[in-house]
Copies of this chain bind each other. A is one copy, B any other.
């Protein structure tokens, strides 16, 4: 008889593993794409080595979302600009008839979607020797070559389980928006720990700074730990100077740890396939917000022209700056979040204990033992206009009650963000968009945002619910 854990894994495995027919279809599509890219390159006189990389090459893709990565390795003599010109043309030609999206992050490439909803990436990179990396994706073929011989059929299954689990609990993806675990990192984790369940068992005891060096590039783990600053360290087997887990943010690391513990405690398919959130009806939403007793401030703005990784980097940076601004003015932030449809609708959410603060603020002066500081303090505050009552000695220090400059968080935000808020730390693109289209709303004032976007409505519903969706299972 199998355990509940084994049963859940067996069930999930059926859902994540492509059937033989499906595999064949994806692989033959991949093969056709390679040929087309090869032909295109030859036509343009580009001497390219064209290969399938990623999850399709390694047999670790998830059944419901196959994604074919076709890489064209070009000679190092080619100028970098060619990635965005001739390489892109080759990619476009090869995926003619598909929906095409040009991606221009630091590395230009083409994304395309087939009629069957298979995602295709055609990515240029340099054909370099190991260690001679020029562009960001030059390591990818080495990753494929490294992992492929080590992953047998059994290990591939474990990788699929782990990826699906990470998707389910919301920590999958190395893009800035998520700040989580890449597919390659999942593969290395399975290699290192042996199986999906063993990864979770170990993760349940991970700490900040946990370091894995599967290839033992470093004699002592501490050497690797010292080299990398990130919360989780996985030394890249093909490049000892690179941390495969560099993208994993602290929050995501801890969410994965918490989810691992919860799943091992109470195995459930919901970890892999969380129930869809149903957005609250407007009246429910208003009741829910009002019954909290807190105040939810929405700081929204429109188009912010930046590619997703840049946009999310700037959104998160701006979120931190806003949090500090609000806290510096003595409002208690209970929680905050940020939402973007990556097009024309962005909003920060700050939930504070009170919209209004009292006029009066207790201002700590220096301790009596610092005599010079005391003199300065008294010169500044005795008789000053901004005080409510004169300085006094309380315990071992001077104290004065002052008038507060901002007693309304909405007023504070409107005033500080009027000109875009660059000087309070909002990032460049965000600041520009804020200066053009800022709206500050409180509680049900944001109802039109809610009714205008089903995706945002779901997001806000989940926010109000608070818990990670997988906590249902605990």
A interface residues, Cβ below 8 angstroms from B = 204-205, 207-208, 250-251, 254-255, 257-258, 261-262, 265, 291-295, 332, 334-335, 353-354, 357-360, 362, 368-369, 371, 374-375, 378, 382, 388-401, 407, 464-468, 471, 474
Contacts and interface: CB of A to CB of B under 8 A. Distances in A.
A292 B388 CA distance: 7
Nearest to A388: B292
Nearest to A469: B390
A316 to B, nearest CB: 14
A390 B466 contact: yes
Contacts of A392: 466-468, 471
Residue among A204, A465, A466 having the largest count of chain B Cβ atoms under 10 Å? A466
Nearest to A472: B390
Given A255-B393, A394-B251, A207 B369 contact: yes
- Counting from the closest, the 5 A-B pairs by CB-CB distance are A389-B466, A390-B467, A293-B359, A293-B358, A294-B360
A395 B359 CA distance: 32
A382 B293 contact: no
Contacts of A254: 368, 393, 395-397
B471 A396 contact: no
Contacts of A354: 354, 358
A465 B207 contact: no
A374 B255 CA distance: 13
Contact of A261 (B258, B374, B388): B374
Given A371-B261, A382-B471, A471-B382, A394 B335 contact: yes
B389 A465 contact: yes
B362 A334 contact: yes
Contacts of A393: 251, 254-255, 258, 468
A113 to B, nearest CB: 33
Given A258-B398, A293-B359, A392-B471, 20 more contacts: A250-B395, A254-B368, A261-B371, A261-B374, A292-B360, A292-B389, A293-B360, A294-B401, A295-B358, A334-B362, A335-B362, A335-B399, A335-B401, A354-B354, A382-B467, A382-B471, A390-B465, A393-B468, A400-B466, A401-B466
A471 B390 contact: yes
Among A205, A293, A390, chain B packs the most CB atoms within 10 A around the CB of A293
A291 B388 CA distance: 9
Copies in the complex: 2
18 contacts: A207-B369, A208-B369, A208-B396, A254-B368, A254-B393, A254-B397, A255-B393, A258-B368, A258-B393, A258-B398, A261-B375, A262-B378, A292-B359, A292-B388, A293-B358, A293-B407, A388-B466, A392-B471
Contacts of A358: 293-295, 353-354
Nearest to A383: B474
A96 to B, nearest CB: 45
Contact of A389 (B250, B362, B464): B464
Contacts of A465: 389-390
Given A258-B374, A354-B358, A359-B292, A395 B467 contact: no
Contacts of A474: 378, 382
A254, A265, A354, A393: residue with the most chain B Cβ atoms closer than 10 Å: A393
Nearest to A334: B362
A439 to B, nearest CB: 24
Contacts of A399: 335
Contacts of A362: 332, 334-335
Of A254, A394, A399, the most chain B CB neighbours within 10 A belong to A254
Nearest to A468: B392
A257 B368 contact: yes
Which one of A208, A295, A360, A371 has the highest number of Cβ atoms from chain B below 10 Å of its Cβ? A360
Given A293-B360, A360-B292, A251 B395 contact: yes
A400 B471 CA distance: 13
A131 to B, nearest CB: 35
Contacts of A375: 261, 265
Most chain B C-beta atoms within 10 Å of own C-beta, residue among A332, A358, A378, A401: A358
A471 B381 CA distance: 11
Nearest to A251: B395
Nearest to A258: B393
A388 B466 CA distance: 9
